[in-house]
Amino acid sequence: MHNENKEKQLKTWRGVAVAAICLLLAVSILYALGVGWKKVEHEPKPAEEPAAEEPAAAVSYADEANWAYYGVGEDRAVDLFLVCPTVDMNDEFNMSLDDEQTKANFLGALNMERGIYEDSTRMFAPYYRQAAMKVYSLDREAWEPYMELAYSDVSAAFAYYLEHENQGRPIVLAGFSQGADMCYRLLEEYFGDETLYGQLVAVYAIGWPCAEELPANNPQIRPAQAADDIGVVISFDCEAPEVTETFISPAGQRAFGINPLNWKTDGTAADREENPGACFTDYSGAIVSEQEALCGCYLDTERGVVKVTDIAEADYPPIVPGLPGGAYHVYDYQFFFRSLQQNVADRIASFAANGAVEQAA
């Protein structure tokens, strides 16, 4: 009877957590419906091409209003540069920084993942004109102009941070989904410099694939191989075992990944008992529910995705337009929250072993 009650309670907690996540996204979508958002089909199709526009004015990152976080956690010796995932559901191609409702969702999305990093780092996160969800309804080759505009802001913010705040301090880069895409671009543009690369603790590029051509063309992009290597990229996206493709990780695309429980890259499965805690968070960053041993996982070594076991697909709907059932993308970091949180601390400790953190502090 005790076990039955416990299972019933856990099921209730899971339901509350997933409902909270669905509600948060629904708020964004309902807001966007007022300006004509249309759901993306599973197979992205061409959308109307926008008329040519004048080049957008640059964002000034000297203005703290253009930062969601600016130096939050002053007593930390390591800096975090965190890039937000896609929250713009409006009928547009890039987010407007004058849209206060979408900026509120932007801040909320950052807060949902900040708990992984905030105990270990001083946090910086810029507002940027991210590519809106509508962009992902285009053919893949048509995404780039909107991604380039988004990245121009991220790059400008990072350059400002380096010039005015870094002062040789160790750096953790992190981003989820579109934010992970932006992190790869930062690695390409900035971290070919040996001095700056020497300050890199790790890159948490979760929810966007580290495609095999990225390390092939950029030796500074090094996929993680263990729980405590440094200067590396931690990458994975979550799926049910039967899923074979999504618009995030298409079939046939080879990518590097790592198991976020056992930190192996060879496909060795991690049992659910190895999971120290899944945490489901809200827009304030509060943990709505937490469960040890929620799920296990193993790595698909071809596509670099993590196959999640021990959960019912129906309990975790895909939520994101265009993703099939069994695509657990929105839960990527929530399923493995405590493991990731510990891993950030472990990699910083590994980086500090040579005295670099103490010297920079």
pLDDT at 57: 87
pLDDT at 1: 47
pLDDT at 41: 35
pLDDT at 14: 54
Amino acid present at 40: V
Amino acid present at 170: P
Task: Confirm whether 319 is domain-assigned.
Answer: yes
pTM of the predicted model, to two decimals? 0.88
pLDDT at 58: 93
Which residue ranges of the chain lie beneath pLDDT 70? 1-55, 355-361
Task: Confirm whether 150 is domain-assigned.
Answer: yes
Q: How far apart are CA 20 and CA 1, in angstroms?
A: 29
Taking every pair of Cα atoms in the chain, the longest distance, rounded to a whole number of angstroms, is: 67
Task: Confirm whether 54 is domain-assigned.
Answer: no
* Coil vs helix vs strand at 53: coil
Task: Confirm whether 47 is domain-assigned.
Answer: no
Q: How far apart are CA 150 and CA 48, in angstroms?
A: 20
Q: How far apart are CA 243 and CA 85, in angstroms?
A: 22
pLDDT at 15: 52
Q: Which domain holds residue 250?
A: 2-39+60-360
pLDDT at 55: 59
Q: In Å, how far are 115, 288, 315 from 20, measured between CA atoms? A: 17, 8, 13
Q: Which residues, including other chains, have CB under 8 Å from residue 124's CB and lie 6 or more apart?
A: 67, 69, 70, 71, 72, 79, 80, 81, 82, 157, 161, 165
Q: How many folded domains does the chain comprise?
A: 1
Task: Confirm whether 50 is domain-assigned.
Answer: no
Rg (CA), the chain: 20
Our CA dihedral for 14, 18, 19, 25, rounded to 10 degrees, sits at 170
How crowded is residue 21: how many other Cβ atoms within 10 Å of its Cβ?
20
User: Which runs of E-coded beta strand occur in 292-342?
Assistant: 296-300, 305-309
Task: Confirm whether 338 is domain-assigned.
Answer: yes
Task: Confirm whether 44 is domain-assigned.
Answer: no
Task: Confirm whether 263 is domain-assigned.
Answer: yes
Distance of CA 83 to the CA centre of its chain: 8
* H or E stretch covering 343: helix 337-352
CB 321 within 8 A of CB 330: no
